[in-house]
Amino acid sequence: MLIRVGYDIIFEHPAPTPIIAMLYLHPSRGPSIRRGDYLLVEPPAPVSDYIDNYGNRCGRLLAPAGPIRFWNDAVVEDSGQPDDQNPTAEQHEIYALPDATLTFLMPSRYCEVDRMVDLAWQLFSTVPKGWARVQAICDFVHSHITFDYLQARKTRTAYEAYQERIGVCRDFTHLAVTFCRCLNIPARYCTGYLGDIGVPVTGPMDFSAWFEAYLGGRWYTFDPRNNTPRVGRVLMAYGHDAADVALLTSFGPSRLDRFTIWTDEVGEDALL
């Protein structure tokens, strides 16, 4: 399966403004890129790349005063299979976890593990460890939070999402990640493209959030917002929470003027 992904985003800045742009596909998707994945900037501005602590590809630039456009249009190859499922995947004891996973047990900006640990054990301690426990978390979050774009708030934390019972995909993800960490399951926040492939069209396209839990010796994808295996997930970045994977960080005031995202199944003619 081929999937065309991209965006057309315009910001306006009143003065020259440094920016970190995390608008590339994750390097792990490199072998699957069939066309493109170039960050185009108008008016032209030099962009220097670096890889952050989580292996995400980032770009640094100085945006001039006025409007600046970010554009990308890539085609990636995908298996066409839904997210892997392994109900027998076991939870590791903390002493047996790989060193690199331990950081994803810790509290973070939007995931208040220390504040929610008692609640997590009250809700899920009777559920068998491993896959069943992570799925129980996703089932709870999926039913507990109502999805509403109009109620989006970039400062909402996992605890606030639990209290308010409303939010967008990042809020579903933050709450599920927090519960997992409370129960000693490493969980990392992911962002990227997820199109309406094989499901009814739900509205204008946006970047999506989901998470990965470390079970049975590998990372598995879970999606508490949709709560069903999906086809065509394309990872851009992962970290502790949304603070680590902000797609654009402007070090100064800015205004969003255009935000268009696409992710569609295409044929071989898209490569021409």
Question: Which amino acid, residue 63?
Answer: A
- Model pTM? 0.96
HSE-up of residue 143 (Cα within 13 Å, Cβ side): 5
Mean pLDDT (whole number) for 25-49:
94
Is residue 52 classed exposed, middle or buried when 0-12, 13-18 and 19+ CB atoms within 10 A define those classes? middle
Q: Has residue 241 got a pLDDT over 90?
A: yes
State in Å, rounded, how far the first CA of the chain is from the last one.
16
Mean pLDDT (whole number) for 55-67:
97
Q: How sure is the predictor about 201, in pLDDT bands with cuts at 50, 70 and 90?
A: confident
- Tally of helices (H runs) and strands (E runs) in the chain: 4, 15
- Whether residue 250 contacts residue 172, with contact meaning beta carbons closer than 8 Å, is answered with no
Q: How sure is the predictor about 270, in pLDDT bands with cuts at 50, 70 and 90?
A: confident
Across the chain, the runs of DSSP E, i.e. the strands, are 2-13, 17-21, 33-35, 40-42, 48-51, 57-63, 66-77, 146-147, 166-167, 187-194, 208-215, 218-222, 233-239, 248-250, 255-266
- Whether residue 84 contacts residue 262, with contact meaning beta carbons closer than 8 Å, is answered with no
Q: How sure is the predictor about 204, in pLDDT bands with cuts at 50, 70 and 90?
A: confident
Q: What percent of the chain has pLDDT over 70?
A: 99
- Whether residue 137 contacts residue 178, with contact meaning beta carbons closer than 8 Å, is answered with no
pLDDT confidence of residue 179: 98
CA angle 259, 264, 270 (to 5 degrees): 110
HSE-up of residue 4 (Cα within 13 Å, Cβ side): 13
CA angle 139, 140, 146 (to 5 degrees): 100
pLDDT in tens, 94-148: 999 999 999 999 999 999 999 999 999 999 999 999 999 999 999 999 999 999 9
- Whether residue 75 contacts residue 34, with contact meaning beta carbons closer than 8 Å, is answered with yes
pLDDT confidence of residue 230: 96
pLDDT confidence of residue 37: 84
Distance CA 12, CA 65 (A): 7
Judged by DSSP in three states, 180 sits in helix
pLDDT confidence of residue 12: 96
Structural domains of the chain, with CATH = 2-79+247-271 (2.60.40.2250), 94-231 (3.10.620.30)
pLDDT in tens, 73-83: 999 999 999 99
Mean pLDDT (whole number) for 202-215:
90
Mean pLDDT of the chain: 96
- Whether residue 110 contacts residue 157, with contact meaning beta carbons closer than 8 Å, is answered with yes
pLDDT in tens, 137-185: 999 999 999 999 888 999 999 999 999 999 999 999 999 999 999 999 9
